[in-house]
Amino acid sequence: MGFRMGIVGLPNVGKSTLFNALTKTAAAQAANFPFCTIEPNVGDVAVPDARLDTLAEIAGSKQIIPTRMTFVDIAGLVKGASKGEGLGNQFLANIRETDSIAHVLRCFEDDDVTHVDGRVDPVGDAETIETELIIADMESLEKRLQNIVRKVRGGDKEAVQQERLMKMAMAALEEGKPARTVEVDAEDLKQWKMLQLLTAKPILYVCNVDEGEAATGNALSAEVAEMAAAQGNSHVIISAKIEEEISQLDAEEAAEFLGELGLEEAGLDRLIRAGYELLNLQTYFTVGPKEARAWTIKEGTQAPQAAGVIHGDFERGFIRAETIAYDDYVACKGEAGAKEAGKMRAEGKSYTVQDGDVLHFLFNT
């Protein structure tokens, strides 16, 4: 599995520029006017992972297939979007279809790039968007609570559970708190996710800074960092302009360009890593002479379910997983060396897959 991250923010904060850079396409028009993105642009990008290249080299794999993630560039929201202002509710619906939100905040001064509210205030921008999402969630819950009354009166257990969860969410929203602040018991998680609340989605703040501040950030990004920490959210500092320039270079040129700017890695790498942490994701590998491939799973996934990411038959007919830790695979210079050194293990259905595991699944057809 990959994951789907929606790129949101006010108009002219650099969303489409960042999207173009991330997907290395010009599919999202980046222009200095509000609502230049009319339909949500969707782009699949490969997740960079140096471990995959190392494994492929050791195994002599003919093909390298990275895992992928999806970015959705969602048009600029404005104050009043939940009431139909700007381009209105259609974009709130686009957010519902994502797993997480990358909220791009303008942390740069530029008189040539207009701000929809005529000022540069990333914390204020974040509050504007959060408020619109809270209002949208409240309106959704009000309608659903009205529609569920009859089932609750009839004693429908699922309806009773849904009503309880919706009222928990509404209580938080009425206090101006997002739904992700609500503590939900394990037995309620499935129904909670089915509510599809916008403010329940994990959020990552993306501070878009000038090219000269990409390595260190600035006073505005520091304000965002403080806000994110207080909320228990994450943030990354990126220059969308730099990312767009890097996207046009080959690997060697990109590395040289980053070095000149004092950056160790591209913003895409930082964004993906932060996204993985946000959604508690990890990677395992399958390696052979034909291909070396990366697969994304949730932390805590057991071997049969990890096998199911490749194909449902692998999960249904799971017998065992032959497992080599990444470090052992590299140190032993491949599968044969790992076997000889006793580093290959046979794991059963209860095995919890670890990040970097090199796996081979045995299953009944």
Binding site feature residues for ATP: 12-17
Query: CA 103: distance to chain centroid?
Result: 11
Query: Encoding tokens for residue 159?
Result: 């309806």
Q: How far apart are CA 131 and CA 134, in angstroms?
A: 5
- Binding-site residues, please? 12-17
Angular region, 50: left φ>0, alpha ψ -120 to 50, beta rest:
alpha
Q: How far apart are CA 354 and CA 351, in angstroms?
A: 9
DSSP 8-state assignment for residue 75:
P
Cβ count near 362 (within 10 Å): 13
Q: How far apart are CA 264 and CA 113, in angstroms?
A: 28
Residue 69's nearest CA partner among 285, 294, 313, 301 is 294
Structural contact between residues 32 and 110, judged by C-beta atoms closer than 8 angstroms: no
Structural contact between residues 165 and 192, judged by C-beta atoms closer than 8 angstroms: yes
Structural contact between residues 127 and 134, judged by C-beta atoms closer than 8 angstroms: no
